Amino acid sequence: MGTVSLPEVKTMLALPGDAVRQIQWRFSDRFDIQMLVQSSRSVARGTVARMVAAGERNTHEWTPAKNEMLEAFDRSGITAAFMEPEEGGFIVGPKNLALSLAAFELAWVDGGAATASLASFLALAPIHERGTQEQVTRYKTLAAPPQPGEDRTPWRGAFALTEPIPYVGVDTGMLSGKLRVAEWKDGEEPWLQVDKRGRFITGIAFANFVTAAVMSDDARIKGSCVIIMEEGDEGTFDRGTPTKKLVHQLSSTGDPIFNMKVPASRIIGGYTVKDGVIVPNYNHGEVIEAVFRRTRVPVGLMTAAKLLSAVEPVIRYQRERFRGAEGSRPGSLRYEQGIQQREDALHRLVDVWATGEAATSLGFAAARLFDALDPLEKHKTAVLKEQGIQGGRSEMKALKESEQRALEMLSLKEGDPRRAELEADPLVQYVLMDAEGNVLCPATKLWNTGHGANMMREAVSLMGGYGITEDCPGFLANKWMDAQLEATYEGPEAVQRRQLTVTMTSEVFLAQFRAWTLAMRRIASDRPGTGACTLASAMNLWLWTLNYLQKSTDPAGNKLYHGQRQGVTFALADALCWLLASRCQILDVLELDARGAEDAVAAEGLAGTVQFLSDLCHTQAAQAAGEVSRICGELVFGYNQHPAWDEAEHRNCFLASELEELEETMPGISAMAVDVLAADGSHPQKAGPCAGCAGSSEFLRMQNKLTTCLSGSRLAKDRAADTVSKVMIPEALDYPA
């Protein structure tokens, strides 16, 4: 092979590498996180991939080989990523982004491995979020990997919330796990009896401690709480039978039974005794709310990782599909391009890729948001505590004023001194971020996993029959199945939709949403190729539809936007997720465009990379716009009774004879009239006169505008497809299959 001249390149040169991703996902200045990414990748594409290739997923039981994976997590720093430096960790400050990236890297190869890494964090999270200092120190220190010179095995935990039928899958406010006073001597700490049965509890096969949600079954204990049990405590610590999962087999899942006696100091967050009653400082709802709003984000990112991980194996398969066949000689189109000669194969891969980009951007935006929110939340709690305000409802009431200030801030123009003053207020910052986080977290969990699972099916289909075999490079069939579990655990899709229906109507969130819409228009003005304008139009349509539905009723007079009317609220929540993901995707590409030149590696071929990723944004924005248009159209018109060919509706129709007369004064009117009745009363063959509804013209105007805003989106898809057919990929996948 001789040398060839390299032509000037304006397309993306190779698959986006670390330098590009670090800028997009905002950790280019965090070498602690970059190292964690490399460590996680090394475990994922080494230990984990070898296990999957060797068939370790074929067992439900916890095996020595699976245990080695946990040891690999310990050695590589993944376990320590959750800890503070003084507890044996190495990352200072909030760790939502760090843990999300670790889960992302592991899920790139296997979702079960990612879940196994997260399970202990999930058990520790209630302690981390709401535990007393003593609890935090004890359990996080025990769970930290051994330091040099130490000879011990780190403790691992399991979080037990879900219970057997009939409680499984119901509102987590209902618990069958019970807590009673076992012994309470004067002047001494009470001892408590815990009875709890768990179902689908992750990490139970190897857990040394469990954090379990329980309800009081004793008049001397108020409400509910989350309590810690250790395997050495008095009583029964039965790990139960392993769940026969078809997915995520590298994580342990089982149905344990606990019947244990523990000191009251194990109540997470502590307790106070009032009038002879033990009052937990946090009920179980308050604890799990703090936990899940953070731990659900990495789950969404796990599915996103699967989508992006599918790109390289699919490209390789498509290109090499016909090699080795008769008539497919090196240099021929069939040999060099394989299936990528066909537009459909390229377009479908572009769709998978664009979804992966959007899902990843949404998830990491949520993770970063929680990193920023954590210190503000602590500040908020401290400020309110100084004012004697503690606990859920009283805090919400106290924050009303801050919400008003936040709304005022959003109503002011940039540069207004009052705006700057309000922006600097930590409580204003808190309510803004809290409102956003309350939406981004369920949106990530819902859309990334639900829609992600659908798109994983698409990715599998792009590998043909190979896709559903064990030999498929990249374990795509496993990933498709795994995505379904990710859509279910830590709160299934209905729970996420339910949460969104409440949080997305928050005044503070909607005010931010309006501001984002305006920002998208500005972006579109500067960067017309990103799909930002399409997205802004779709955002406007969604907002208009929400307002309309909140004020409208169905023909029976029942409210359309109502908690029980999930046909309306859930659909609107789904539509919102598309918009949020697309917005985050665009913002990440803008970040790369703005800062890519600062990094010599990212700067190489930056224009081509930005162009391709922008084309993916445009493609995704068009998809989002289509979904939003469809959903909003159905909701606005779908609850109206269709007009019938009855007496009352006939009044809105022209009679054929009337039209004839009118034609003399208004030539051409006959061509405009659609609902015309003949003299014998017969009518056109359709359900009834064409329907309309109050405000429909405004809706149709916006929908029409949205449709025209799709201009250019397919051209962007064509460009992206062309890049997919040319981009350089490695010679082989960097993990065994």
Partner 1 sequence: MANVLHIVVCAGIVPDPLQTLEPVTGPNGPGLKNEMVLPAVLDPWAASSLYEAANLAGKNPGSKVWLVSLGPKAKLQQVMMTVAQKVAFELVPIDGPIGGFPDAHSTAAVLADAIAALPGLDRNRLLLFGGWESATRGAGVTLQIVGERLGITDQFQGVDQIDLNEDGSFEVLERIEGGRHQVSACAGTPAVLGWATGNLAEPRNNPQVGMANMRTIMPALQKAKPTTLAANGLRYVSVSLPKQQRTTRVVKDMTPDQIAAELAEWIGAE
Q: Interface with partner 1 by CB under 8 A: which residues?
A: 1-6, 13-14, 17-19, 31-32, 34-39, 42, 72, 75-77, 80-81, 90, 147-148, 599-601, 604-605, 728-734
Name the DSSP class of 445: I
Residue with tokens 């935006």: 365
Residue with tokens 């280019």: 28
Beta bridge partners of 197: 257
Supply the minimum distance, in Å, between the C-beta of residue 469 and partner 1.
13
Vertex 282: Cα angle to 273 and 203 (nearest 5)? 120
Supply the minimum distance, in Å, between the C-beta of residue 89 and partner 1.
9
Supply the minimum distance, in Å, between the C-beta of residue 404 and partner 1.
44
Supply the minimum distance, in Å, between the C-beta of residue 77 and partner 1.
3
**Would you say 386 or 471 has its CB closer to partner 1?**
471
- Phi (first) and psi of residue 182, to 5 degrees: -90, -35
Supply the minimum distance, in Å, between the C-beta of residue 722 and partner 1.
17
Supply the minimum distance, in Å, between the C-beta of residue 466 and partner 1.
14
**Would you say 315 or 538 has its CB closer to partner 1?**
315
- Phi (first) and psi of residue 378, to 5 degrees: -65, -40
Supply the minimum distance, in Å, between the C-beta of residue 716 and partner 1.
22
Q: Dump strand ranges (E) for 20-119.
A: none
**Would you say 384 or 603 has its CB closer to partner 1?**
603
Per-residue tokens: 251: 């994580």
Cβ atoms of residues 724 and 619 within 8 Å = no
Burial of 458 from C-beta contacts in 10 A (0-12 / 13-18 / 19+): middle
**Would you say 591 or 604 has its CB closer to partner 1?**
604
Residue with tokens 């009723």: 553
**Residues sharing a CB contact under 8 Å with residue 106, sequence separation 6 or more, in sequence order:** 40, 43, 44, 48, 78, 113, 114, 117, 302
Vertex 554: Cα angle to 551 and 556 (nearest 5)? 125
Supply the minimum distance, in Å, between the C-beta of residue 206 and partner 1.
21
**Would you say 280 or 338 has its CB closer to partner 1?**
338
**Would you say 22 or 444 has its CB closer to partner 1?**
22
SS3 513: helix
**Would you say 41 or 405 has its CB closer to partner 1?**
41
Number of CB atoms found within 10 A of residue 53's CB: 16
**Would you say 4 or 165 has its CB closer to partner 1?**
4
Inter-helix orientation angle 606-638/343-386, to 10°:
80
Inter-helix orientation angle 96-107/343-386, to 10°:
150
Task: With residue 638 as reference, give the H or E element that holds it.
Answer: helix 606-638
Number of CB atoms found within 10 A of residue 580's CB: 26
Supply the minimum distance, in Å, between the C-beta of residue 420 and partner 1.
33
**Would you say 211 or 614 has its CB closer to partner 1?**
614
